[in-house]
Amino acid sequence: MVATILSAGRLATDMLQLRRTIRIGITGLARAGKTALLTSLAANLLAVSAGRPALPAVSDQLRGRRLRVSIAPAAASNIPRFDVASHVAALAADPPRWPARTTAVSMLALDVDVPREGLLAPLGPQRRRLEFLDYPGEWLLDLPLLGQSFADWSEMTLRRLETLNSSEIARPFLGFVRGLPLGVQADEALTLTGHRLYAELLRRMRDEAGLAFLQPGRFLMPPPGAPPPWTEFFPLPGRSPLADLMQVRFNAYADAVRRDLMSPMFGDLDGLVVLADLLSALHQGPASFADARSALAAAADALRWDRSWTDWLAAFARLKLPPQAIRRVAFAATKADHIAARQRGNLIALMRRLTHVPDGSAKSAVFAIASVRCTEDVVETLAGRPVSAVRGRIIGEPRPARYYPGEVPDGVPDDLFWQHRFLALPDFEPMRLPEAGRGGIPQLGLDALIAFLLTEILG
Amino acid sequence: MNAAPEPFLLLEPEAAPRLEAVPALLPTAEPVRWLRSPTLAGAAILGIGIPVLWALWLVSALFDRWGTLGWAGLAILVCGIGLICVGIGRELRGLSALRRVDQLRVEFASGEAERVQRAARRWLQGLPQHSEILPALAAADTPEAVLALLRSGPSQALQDATEVLGRTAALQSVAIVAATPLPAMDVLTVGWCGVRLIRQVAALHGMRPGVMGTLSLLQKTALAAATVAATEIAVNAATHAMVSHPLLRHLAGDVAGAGVAARRMIVLARAAAVACSPILRG
């Protein structure tokens, strides 16, 4: 009964076009492939609009209708536009270039016209605006900071640093913090020293230990321009004038996160894509794998999964529709073209075991994708046995390589798995883009992911 | 029990070009090719061959009877065939103009700046009244900018002119239906009005379709009508406003179907414009 009322409400909303903008959040840690996914998504939808068979699963869902997609005008938004053309040109170049590390927020907005079917056909195509936000992956872990106080965050961070396997890395910073006198005064020199030691610690945890759960994200990837003074703080327990100053700066930092990242995008999501580079985590070892898992869980928990009665009240007071709860979640393990076809089922099973959707009405699905496909599937014969592998060209190497990284576990890896090595993922170059990108970007599984996310508007 | 294979990374001995994706193929229906029908081909051979043979036989017989008569017969035959050829040439030109619309659509959708720019110039050659946007077109350096210029310039002007033609035809159809003494003649007169409207819209878009061209255009218009069905709702309101004139209301009230005919004329004009324009609108 409730489902019928909800679907009737959605149909009415659809017919009246009360909600024209669909916001889809992309969460993923650094190097998970957010920029590549957005580039491929935009280029392939534009190719479908031009009649190219770039996304077969989307074409199946359209059942012969012609989708029309265009880059939406930026209007008066103060968020820079996601530069699809330059990213596609870089991938289409010879030799190709992967997108550089994202250093600032940018918005991809697409206008999509979907012809209706059946009795609604005379109403004409429905126009929707799809919005996606690209941002440095390091910043994603700033979202959990919004729900924490400075004291709680400091306590949690220091406890984690003390239990770190590679304690050598954390020793200089922990020595400094533990050595501060009780009731220490708010001194700028102490602030700068503590901040410098903490930022250096975060960098070493990322580069040397391969860890991902590193907060605050802007310490690792500062936004362009001169850093404001409130970005200089560090975790400090107890009560003291210096701790009070750190708390003021922490709160200013949280306000900036709310203003720059949470409000424009993550505050009102319809759909969510959670990207994870599980294969690289498998290579880096158990500590890195567990760390990446908890980082993704913390980021997902910070999002709005359901509407509360206070949301309804606040929206009613402002004469607006209540904020949207997340309706569809796609969990995607990236770089699926780096493993053999037979292993992709295991990768999906592993991703399914690692993820969960909070109770609510959100529908979820798990995918193994390659936004920009680099390899083809081959069978290699080793010691007289056929082995399913992949073949591609490593960047800078004219000779193709045949590659098999090892078995992908179909569940949370046990101790036995970590005793064997899992090969590092090579940097394969992207396949040649048909018609220099106008024919889309070769992908693997991305069409199914897009079809899932857009099910409600594709009908 | 087989052990899992060891991880490996093997380089092939020979260099190879960059990998290419296998293009995905969407299932497409096989088009029906009427020209390959033996029945139609046989009928065409008989329909053209027998009269030609008969004409040649007649000229030959005239020459046998009297030389001057033969020459006169030959002149009449050549003149008639010449005029038919001119007509066929016009038909072919009209058909090629329709085909050019499809080609232009493909080129506009290509996304290649130079190709889109060339296609835009070619389209504007058939619409000299809109050549004032050529300088702006030359400055537009992206396909999106070129298409936006065409949409807001010539395409918009053509759409406005089509609306005027549609409204005029709608008024005429109301008058015709009201003035026709026999209801059975409504179909003929409104049908003639519709065909004339389609040809007017085609002329507006720089085309001069002959009989075959008009038939082809009718077919394309019927297909386009499906996409224009959405305009029915807006057209209902427009027709209602139009026939609310006291005289027209009286006429339309007296003649069942006059309002429907008027509405169909407006939809028909829009569908014909969609069929004739290479610029697709949302």
A355-361 CB contacts, 8 Å cutoff, 24+ apart: A355/A274, A355/A296, A355/A300, A355/A331, A357/A305, A357/A329, A358/A301, A358/A305, A358/A306, A360/A305, A360/A306, A360/A325, A360/A326, A361/A6, A361/A306, A361/A325, A361/A327
Per-residue model confidence (pLDDT) at position A196: 93
Tokens 């590679």, residue?
A166
User: In this prediction, does ipTM exceed 0.90?
Assistant: no
Rounded to whole angstroms, the Cα distance separating B68 from A21 reads: 83
Task: Indicate the pLDDT class of residue B278, thresholds 50, 70 and 90.
Answer: confident
Tell me which chain B residues have a C-beta less than 8 angstroms from the C-beta of A70: 144
Rounded to whole angstroms, the Cα distance separating A412 from A453 reads: 26
pLDDT at B252 over 50: no
Neighbours of A283 (CB within 10 A): 19
Per-residue model confidence (pLDDT) at position A150: 95
Q: Which of A385, A400, A434 sits opposite B21 (nearest CB)?
A: A434
Per-residue model confidence (pLDDT) at position B237: 46
Edge-to-edge strand list for the sheet holding A21-28: A68-71, A106-114, A126-134, A21-28, A271-276, A328-333, A363-368
Question: Chain A contact for B68, CB < 8 A?
Answer: no
Output DSSP code: residue B153: I
Q: Which of A49, A403, A431 sits opposite B18 (nearest CB)?
A: A431
Region A439-454 average pLDDT: 93
For residue A73, CA distances in Å to A81, A110, B228 come to 9, 8, 25
Report pLDDT digits (tens) over A126-166: 889 999 888 887 888 888 898 899 999 999 999 989 887 66
Structure tokens at A436: 């220099």
Region A296-318 average pLDDT: 64
pLDDT at B281 over 70: no
Structure tokens at B255: 């003649």
Per-residue model confidence (pLDDT) at position B231: 45
Neighbours of B9 (CB within 10 A): 14
Cis peptide before B51 (omega within 30 of 0): no
Report pLDDT digits (tens) over B82-97: 998 898 888 888 888 8
Between A13 and B148, residue with greater pLDDT: B148
Instruction: Check CB contact under 8 Å for B7 and A387.
Output: no
Per-residue model confidence (pLDDT) at position B194: 84
Lowest mean pLDDT among A36-45, A284-293, A386-395, B209-218: B209-218
For residue B275, CA distances in Å to B170, B225, B269 come to 19, 9, 10
Rounded to whole angstroms, the Cα distance separating A340 from A391 reads: 9
> Taking CA atoms, what residue in A is nearest to B225?
A122
The residue type found at A291 is D
Tokens 């479908």, residue?
A48
- Is residue A378 helix, strand or coil? strand
Structure tokens at A278: 């599980």
Buried-exposed string A87-109: b where 16+ CB fall within 10 A, e elsewhere: bbebbbeeebebbeebebbbbbb
Question: Chain A contact for B26, CB < 8 A?
Answer: yes
Phi/psi of residue B128, each to 5°?
-60, -25
Task: Indicate the pLDDT class of residue B258, thresholds 50, 70 and 90.
Answer: low
Task: Indicate the pLDDT class of residue B33, thresholds 50, 70 and 90.
Answer: low
Lowest mean pLDDT among A52-56, A187-191, A202-206, B143-147: B143-147
Task: Indicate the pLDDT class of residue A303, thresholds 50, 70 and 90.
Answer: low
Contact yes or no for A442/A51 (Cβ under 8 A): no
* Beta pairing partners, A392: A401
Q: Can you spell out the DSSP letters for B154-195?
A: IIHHHHHHHHHHHHHHHHHHHHHHHH-SSHHHHHHHHHHHHH
Q: Which of A374, A375, A404 sits opposite B8 (nearest CB)?
A: A404
Rounded to whole angstroms, the Cα distance separating A366 from A327 reads: 15
Tokens 């606040």, residue?
A314
Count interface pairs A-B at CB distance under 8 A: 109
Pairing between β-strand A106-114 and β-strand A126-134 as defined by DSSP bridges: antiparallel
Tell me which chain B residues have a C-beta less than 8 angstroms from the C-beta of A399: 11-16
Per-residue model confidence (pLDDT) at position B37: 77
Task: Indicate the pLDDT class of residue B195, thresholds 50, 70 and 90.
Answer: confident
Cis peptide before A216 (omega within 30 of 0): yes
Question: What percent of chain B has a predicted confidence (pLDDT) above 70?
Answer: 79
Phi/psi of residue A133, each to 5°?
-120, 130
Per-residue model confidence (pLDDT) at position A39: 95
Mean pLDDT for all residues in chain B: 77
Per-residue model confidence (pLDDT) at position A91: 94
pLDDT at B1 over 50: no
Rounded to whole angstroms, the Cα distance separating B150 from B134 reads: 10
Contact yes or no for A375/A390 (Cβ under 8 A): yes
Rounded to whole angstroms, the Cα distance separating A391 from B231 reads: 52
Between A129 and A298, residue with greater pLDDT: A129
The residue type found at A378 is V
The residue type found at B96 is S
pLDDT at B234 over 60: no
Pairing between β-strand A106-114 and β-strand A68-71 as defined by DSSP bridges: antiparallel
Q: Is B229 exposed, middle or buried (0-12, 13-18, 19+ CB in 10 A)?
A: middle
Tell which residue, A350, A360, A226, has the closest CA to residue A293: A350
Report pLDDT digits (tens) over A273-289: 888 888 988 888 888 88
Between A231 and A100, residue with greater pLDDT: A231
Per-residue model confidence (pLDDT) at position A360: 64
Contact yes or no for A408/A390 (Cβ under 8 A): no
Instruction: Check CB contact under 8 Å for B109 and A121.
Output: no
Question: In chain B, where does DSSP find H-type helix?
Answer: 38-65, 67-108, 113-125, 134-139, 143-150, 156-179, 183-204, 211-228, 231-242, 246-254, 258-276
For residue A334, CA distances in Å to A280, A401, A450, B7 come to 10, 20, 14, 20
Q: What is the pTM of this model?
A: 0.67
CA-CA-CA-CA torsion sign (A367, A133, A61, A341): negative
| Probe site for chain A from B1, B2, B9 (most A CB atoms < 10 A) | B9
Find all residues with CB under 8 Å of B106, minimum gap 6, and list them. Answer: none
Question: Chain A contact for B3, CB < 8 A?
Answer: no
List the beta strands (DSSP E) in A13-122: 21-28, 68-71, 106-114
Contact yes or no for B104/B119 (Cβ under 8 A): yes
The two most distant CA atoms of chain A are separated, in Å, by 75
For residue B184, CA distances in Å to A121, A123, A133, B177 come to 32, 33, 63, 10
Q: Which of A50, A94, A127 sits opposite B109 (nearest CB)?
A: A50
Per-residue model confidence (pLDDT) at position A308: 58
Between A447 and A303, residue with greater pLDDT: A447
For residue A343, CA distances in Å to A172, A405, B160, B234 come to 43, 10, 59, 55
Tell me which chain B residues have a C-beta less than 8 angstroms from the C-beta of A389: 8
Find all residues with CB under 8 Å of A406, minimum gap 6, and list them. Answer: A420, A421, A422, A423, B4, B6, B7
Report pLDDT digits (tens) over B119-152: 888 888 888 777 778 888 788 777 777 888 888 8
Per-residue model confidence (pLDDT) at position B35: 59
Instruction: Check CB contact under 8 Å for A401 and B5.
Output: no
pLDDT at B230 over 50: no
pLDDT at B11 over 70: yes
Q: Can you spell out the DSSP letters for A228-265?
A: PGGG------S-SHHHHHHHHHHHHHHHHHIIIIIIII
Q: Can you spell out the DSSP letters for A280-308?
A: HHHHH-HHHHHHHHHHHHHHHHTS--S--
Per-residue model confidence (pLDDT) at position A78: 73
pLDDT at A305 over 70: no
Contact yes or no for B63/B70 (Cβ under 8 A): yes
Structure tokens at A399: 């000779």
CA distance B72 to chain A (A): 58
Question: What percent of chain B has a predicted confidence (pLDDT) above 90?
Answer: 8
Region A374-386 average pLDDT: 87
Region B238-249 average pLDDT: 50
pLDDT at B257 over 60: no
Rounded to whole angstroms, the Cα distance separating A38 from A44 reads: 10
Lowest mean pLDDT among A321-325, B61-65, B128-132: A321-325
Report pLDDT digits (tens) over A196-253: 999 999 999 988 888 888 999 989 888 877 888 889 999 999 899 999 999 999 999 9
Per-residue model confidence (pLDDT) at position A199: 94
CA-CA-CA-CA torsion sign (A431, A437, A439, A440): positive
Q: To 10 degrees, the CA torsion angle through A437, A442, A443, A447?
A: 70
Rounded to whole angstroms, the Cα distance separating B35 from A340 reads: 50
Per-residue model confidence (pLDDT) at position B251: 47
Question: What percent of chain A has a predicted confidence (pLDDT) above 90?
Answer: 35
Q: Which of B12, B25, B112 sits opposite A399 (nearest CB)?
A: B12
